[in-house]
């Protein structure tokens, strides 16, 4: 059971960084200052890549300054062109990474039980111009990776997974990050595992990793040679050091989030119009706690969002509006709401409740009490 504290009238946010004591970070800072190596693949950077491979159960990891640059570089590394089938139900960086690579996003609908891409909708949207699928493990819940890969194999498509929510998630006993041609992680400050800002690409081979590492360093081969147009996506030693410290605590963070998840499920039972989106899974990382607000809820999703905010509880309507409703995308034929009925409905009903390592039982009961009273 969670630690018990008196119910406090404090603001609670949907996500909050997991921060070890400052005293644990100071030795890392001292080492950076003594070595005077601040970036360009320093010792902490190398160590973090190695330790992430071991922790995640993957072969190759390339660290980046953030997840968006990592996603843009992943698409570039696979030489993807033309049209890419993707989801409207995500953070806008997913589709932005396509447009930055001069790729055309084609939105298809999601499955109602996961809000991940529906493989049948992917198959129906393939045209001669389609070259890849960019799928998202929404809220860290695995896509139907077998079905998506089957569709990709039939049509000769590449598969890239935006795994920003999926750090440490396991699927059928193995790392979820091993699926697809590449998987991309975000280590933003709001994530369960973070490096302040950061990201990574998980690669299946050393050859692919080498190209990714070249692309994130301007395309440079050596002091006098540049092989191709790259970018500056390198993670600094400061960020890598914080990542190494976070990695020491990440199993503890996951365990505490699992306790919060279980308490939410227990206390939300029986509240009309409120249901958790997913059933519990042993392989989850418990990064988010999304609920679906059904029509029977008297004040609706937006009313509940405002009621929580009035009481200092800052939930989020992840993801509202849909990417397809934003100005850069809403004129695309695939962005029509009639093409995306499940995603459109979900965007009006989903609400992510606060989920962090420092939530205590009193916090969860306070949140659930407000929800119960509002319904």
pLDDT (tens digit per residue) in 324-334: 999 999 999 99
pLDDT for residue 17: 83
Assign 313 to helix, strand or coil: strand
**CATH topology for the 22-245 domain:** 3.40.640
Cα distance between residue 131 and residue 85, in whole Å = 8
**CATH topology for the 12-17+249-374 domain:** 3.90.1150
Q: Quick check: 358 and 3 in contact, CB under 8 A?
A: no
Q: How many CB atoms lie within 10 A of CB 14?
A: 20
Q: Note the pLDDT tens digit of each residue in 34-59.
A: 999 999 999 999 999 999 999 999 99
- Using the Cα atoms of residue 74, residue 104, residue 118 and residue 67 in order, give the sign of their dihedral: positive
pLDDT for residue 9: 60
Cα distance between residue 128 and residue 297, in whole Å = 45
Q: Note the pLDDT tens digit of each residue in 259-302.
A: 999 999 999 999 999 999 999 999 999 999 999 999 999 999 99
pLDDT for residue 5: 35
pLDDT for residue 375: 77
Q: Quick check: 162 and 94 in contact, CB under 8 A?
A: yes
Confidence check: pLDDT of 114 > 70: yes
157, with CB counted inside 10 A (0-12, 13-18, 19+), is buried
Cα distance between residue 239 and residue 247, in whole Å = 12
Closest CA to 200 of 16, 100, 59: 59
Residue 294 DSSP code: -
Q: Quick check: 354 and 14 in contact, CB under 8 A?
A: yes
Q: How many CB atoms lie within 10 A of CB 239?
A: 23
Closest CA to 115 of 358, 336, 291, 354: 291
pLDDT for residue 16: 82
Beta strand 313-314 with 12-13 is parallel
Q: Where are the domains of the chain?
A: 12-17+249-374, 22-245
Residue 234 DSSP code: P
Q: Quick check: 187 and 168 in contact, CB under 8 A?
A: no
First to last CA, the chain: 26
Cα distance between residue 28 and residue 19, in whole Å = 15
């Amino acid at each position: 059971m969670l630690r018990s504290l008196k119910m406090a009238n404090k603001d609670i946010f949907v996500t909050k960084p997991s921060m070890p004591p400052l005293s644990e970070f100071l030795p890392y800072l001292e080492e950076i200052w003594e070595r005077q190596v601040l970036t360009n693949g320093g010792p902490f950077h190398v160590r973090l890549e190695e330790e992430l491979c071991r922790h995640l159960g993957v072969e190759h990891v390339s660290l980046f300054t953030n997840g968006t640059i990592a996603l843009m570089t992943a698409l570039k590394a696979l030489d993807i062109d033309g049209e890419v089938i993707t989801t409207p139900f995500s953070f806008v960086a997913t589709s932005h990474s396509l447009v930055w690579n001069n790729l055309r996003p084609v939105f298809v609908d999601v499955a109602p039980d996961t809000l991940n891409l529906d493989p049948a909708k992917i198959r129906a949207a393939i045209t001669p111009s389609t070259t890849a699928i960019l799928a998202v493990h929404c809220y860290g819940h695995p896509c139907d990776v077998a079905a998506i890969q089957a569709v990709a194999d039939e049509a000769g498509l590449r598969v890239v997974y935006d795994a920003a929510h999926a750090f440490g998630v396991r699927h059928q006993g193995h790392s979820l990050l091993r699926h697809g041609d590449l998987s991309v992680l975000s280590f933003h400050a709001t994530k369960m595992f973070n490096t302040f800002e950061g990201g990574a690409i998980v690669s299946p081979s050393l050859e692919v990793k080498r190209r990714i590492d070249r692309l994130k360093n301007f395309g440079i081969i050596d002091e006098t040679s540049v092989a191709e147009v790259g970018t500056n996506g390198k993670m600094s030693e400061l960020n890598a050091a914080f990542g190494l410290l976070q990695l020491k605590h990440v199993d503890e963070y996951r365990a505490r989030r699992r306790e919060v998840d279980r308490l939410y499920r227990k206390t939300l039972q029986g509240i009309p119009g409120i249901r958790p989106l997913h059933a519990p899974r042993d392989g989850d990382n418990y990064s988010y706690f999304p609920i679906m607000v059904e029509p029977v809820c008297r004040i609706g999703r937006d009313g509940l969002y405002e009621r929580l905010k009035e009481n200092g509880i800052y939930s989020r309507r992840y993801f509202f509006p849909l990417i397809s409703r934003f100005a850069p995308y809403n004129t695309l034929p695939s962005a029509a709401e009639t093409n995306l009925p499940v995603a459109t409905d979900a965007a009006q009903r989903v609400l992510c409740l606060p989920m962090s390592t420092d939530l205590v039982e009193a916090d969860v009961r306070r949140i659930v009490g407000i929800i119960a009273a509002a319904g």
